[in-house]
A and B are shown apart, each in its own frame.
Chain A
Amino acid sequence: MTPTSAPLSERAAEPVLEVRDLVKHYPLTGGGLIRRRTGAVRAVDGVSFRLGAGETLGVVGESGCGKSTLARLLVSLERPTAGQIRYRGEDITRLSGRALKAVRRNIQMVFQDPYTSLNPRMTVGDIVGEPYEIHPEVAPRGDRRRRVRELLEVVGLDPGHLNRYPHQFSGGQRQRIGIARGLALRPEIIVADEPVSALDVSVQAQVVNLLAGLQRRFGLAYVFIAHDLSVVRHISDRIGVMYLGRTVETGTDTQIYDHPTHPYTQALLSAVPVPDPAARDRRARILLSGDVPSPADPPSGCRFRTRCWKARERCAVEVPALAVPEAFRDGRTPARHPSACHFAEERRVVPAEGAA
């Protein structure tokens, strides 16, 4: 996701959000009376991207790849170990107090679990109205009730339910309440961490459509983090694939899904079950061996090499940079997008649609 290589961000004059070499290490401490540092979990280890206004960046990866930590960094719930997060050109990682509070108005978050993200002791009206209490300058006191009702209506809930408690709602409805809370301050960016993965299929579609509708209506930019590759493709303009704290491949949805060049992306895509029994025999599945290594002790060189079928000596020594691979640098093919692999080559793994 180098600035020069993302076509969409070139179009957008100025990115609303720009992340440069973001790093978050959690120290591991040994036991005993005096805590000494014995190592670090490298949750996020050098991630960069740009997000244009009104654009959706999808971030996919498996558990332990650091995508949730990335979300928490973006909304300033954690401070990065190194790197920058620029909101409209201003680095927000060193902000605190009033300045940070002001930035927070513009970057909001939607959480994964609708059952724990709402305070069970507060009414829906209080939950959705809380942003106005924290930022009283946004809405005068007398106007808040009306705004909360409006928000509930926007997310498809009955405004008359203002005085109900979260436990009186179903999972999908709770997620709508969480989205209403995120919208209250009219942010420019919403970071959604697995917003639909806790929901049933039929309800999931409702919430995905809601998010898409809100984006059109309010011109929101989304960082959409999920492990479900189908949902991410559906909603995203650009996609970044993460593995063990690093971005391994990035591009538009067609580039990533139809013309992946990184072996991890290929394996990931090939492993997704396709809801089409006819595709069963046509699919070439790449089965990876073993599990994801611990982020506390990542492999040298390319982090994927321990599970990669292409790995050679070079992969253990040299960290592959996230750039357009040399082979594709000249062509006009969709494979011309950044991929952090020494031996990148195109391989179609998602069966073509409707090939009956």
Chain B
Amino acid sequence: MLLDVQDLRVEFRTRDGIARAVNGVSYGVDAGETLAVLGESGSGKSVTAQAVMGILDTPPGRITGGRILFRGRDLLTLPEDARRAVRGAEMAMVFQDALSALNPVLTVGDQLAEMFTVHRGMSRRDARARAVELMDRVRIPAARQRAGQYPHQFSGGMRQRIMIAMAIALEPALIIADEPTTALDVTVQAQVMDLLAELRRETGTALVLITHDLGVVADVADRIAVMYAGRIVETAPVHDLYRAPAHPYTRGLLDSIPRLDRKGRELYAIKGLPPGLTALPAGCAFHPRCPRARDLCRTDEPPLFPVAGEGQVAGAGGDGRGAGDGGEARRAWDAGGAGGRRSACHFWRETLDDADISAAV
């Protein structure tokens, strides 16, 4: 496994108390795989990514537990200079707002070339040539001329391409893209997602795609991890999850988006609001909004149960290793339920069955 996040916990000190932004998140990404991390604002999806990249603002943030294994090394215990060497060269990040992520007083050519002079010790001349090559590669027209321009002279889509060029410059094994297309128009979004997918195919880079858009996920992801209130509530291969979600939150999300291909009647709306991170509900964090909540949900925090569905019996995979207890469960990740499905719901089986029924109707 290329990246293995284990039981990561992040807190923020706020005026209203300690905000527990990430509460024991575990996920893994294999080389060449695309994992989508889906969640609404405040779900902790970006904070997790920032912790992985090592760009979390501390303070107010603080990593209080867990490990981040990258190629077997725990990044959290690496000295800062070693960490810096990993950043950019082995893992890179694409941000949502390319305009503020690029330095406004340097030409894009210089910023791209800097990657090579700093990390690879190239001469300015060679680095410049590589920069133009990169711009060509992300299909920026007239790359040679445009390398001398400043970020504000590019359109939103072109700036995002430059961000991507910077991310792939040193051929990292992992790219983390945090809402890379959220600020873009749909036609431009399609271009950028297409470019990302193509580059990924060519280079075999693993991609962690952080997004709130269920459509984008369906288009590109291999696997998906759904986050809610700082935890992963469901993880599954993307086809399985859309066909039959095993968590009521995922189910609610899928039902609440209007569809392009049909005129819906009333949208299903998940009632209420996401919980505040300073005062998370006891038990399952989703229980106040959950139609399926019982007494058990108010007291017991559900672990990530392996999910078996579609004729398989739970435990046929790796259930023998025990569900949900920290490290063990994670190593059973791929071996979990059907295709590594897991759901943090006491009633995943019922949820799954319901979904099957509604899909069949």
Contacts and interface: CB of A to CB of B under 8 A. Distances in A.
Instruction: Decide if A and B touch, CB cutoff 8 A.
Output: yes
Interface of A: 62-63, 170, 172-173, 200-206, 208-209, 212, 227, 229-231, 233-235, 253-254, 257, 267-280, 285, 287-288, 290-292, 350-353
A212 B256 CA distance: 14
A212 B270 contact: no
Interface string B32-58: 000000001100000000000000000
Contact of B218 (A212, A253, A267, A277): A277
A203 B273 contact: yes
State the 10 A-B residue pairs at the shortest beta-carbon distance, nearest first: A273-B215, A234-B258, A205-B256, A271-B190, A62-B185, A200-B40, A205-B269, A275-B214, A202-B270, A205-B267
B186 A62 contact: yes
A172 B252 CA distance: 17
Contacts of B188: 62, 291
Contact of B256 (A204, A257, A288): A204
Interface string B249-280: 00011101111111110111111011000000
Contact of B263 (A204, A234, A277): A234
Nearest to A202: B270
Contacts of A203: 273
Contacts of B238: 277
Contact of B260 (A206, A269, A285): A269
B224 to A, nearest CB: 9
Given A170-B273, A280-B219, A275 B267 contact: no
A272 B271 CA distance: 27
Contact of A278 (B214, B242, B263): B242
B258 to A, nearest CB: 4
Contact of B259 (A206, A268, A270, A353): A353
Contacts of A270: 190
B194 A287 contact: yes
A257 B215 CA distance: 17
Contacts of A290: 141
17 contacts: A62-B186, A200-B40, A205-B269, A206-B271, A208-B267, A209-B266, A209-B269, A212-B266, A229-B186, A230-B257, A233-B258, A233-B259, A254-B263, A277-B238, A280-B218, A280-B219, A285-B190
B218 A276 contact: yes
B233 to A, nearest CB: 13
Contacts of A353: 259, 261-262
B155 A233 contact: no
A201 B256 contact: yes
Given A202-B253, A208-B258, A291 B190 contact: no
Nearest to B215: A273
B158 interface: yes
A299 B218 CA distance: 36
Contacts of A172: 273
Interface residues of B, number: 48
A270 B190 CA distance: 9
Chain A at the B interface: SS class: helix
Interface in B272-328: 273-274
A140 B20 CA distance: 49
A257 to B, nearest CB: 7
B151 to A, nearest CB: 15
Given A201-B212, A209-B269, A278-B242, 13 more contacts: A62-B188, A202-B256, A202-B269, A205-B268, A206-B269, A230-B258, A273-B193, A274-B261, A275-B259, A277-B238, A280-B218, A352-B261, A353-B259
B155 A291 contact: yes
A325 B247 CA distance: 48
A86 B340 CA distance: 60
Interface string B152-182: 0001011000000000000000000000000
B213 interface: yes
A291 B260 contact: no
A273 B187 contact: no
A257 B40 contact: no
Interface string B114-150: 0000000000000000000000000001000000000
Contacts of A288: 187, 191
B270 A272 contact: no
A292 B221 CA distance: 28
A352 B259 CA distance: 11
A3 B186 CA distance: 30
Contacts of A202: 40, 252-253, 256, 269-270, 274
B189 interface: yes
Contacts of A231: 258
B252 A234 contact: no
A144 B216 CA distance: 46
A258 B46 CA distance: 37
Given A201-B253, A287-B194, A291-B188, A273 B261 contact: no
Given A202-B253, A206-B269, A234-B267, A272 B191 contact: no
Nearest to A171: B41
Interface in B186-213: 186-191, 193-194, 212-213
A257 B273 contact: no
Nearest to B256: A205
B269 A200 contact: no
A205 B263 CA distance: 14
A208 B268 CA distance: 10
Contacts of A351: 261
B243 to A, nearest CB: 8
A209 B219 CA distance: 27
B336 to A, nearest CB: 19
Nearest to A231: B258
Given A62-B185, A287-B191, A229 B218 contact: no
B287 to A, nearest CB: 15
B239 interface: yes
A208 to B, nearest CB: 6
Contacts of B212: 200-201
Contacts of A201: 40, 212, 214, 253, 256-257
A355 B254 CA distance: 18
Nearest to B41: A200
Contacts of A350: 260-261
Contacts of A170: 273
Contacts of B158: 291
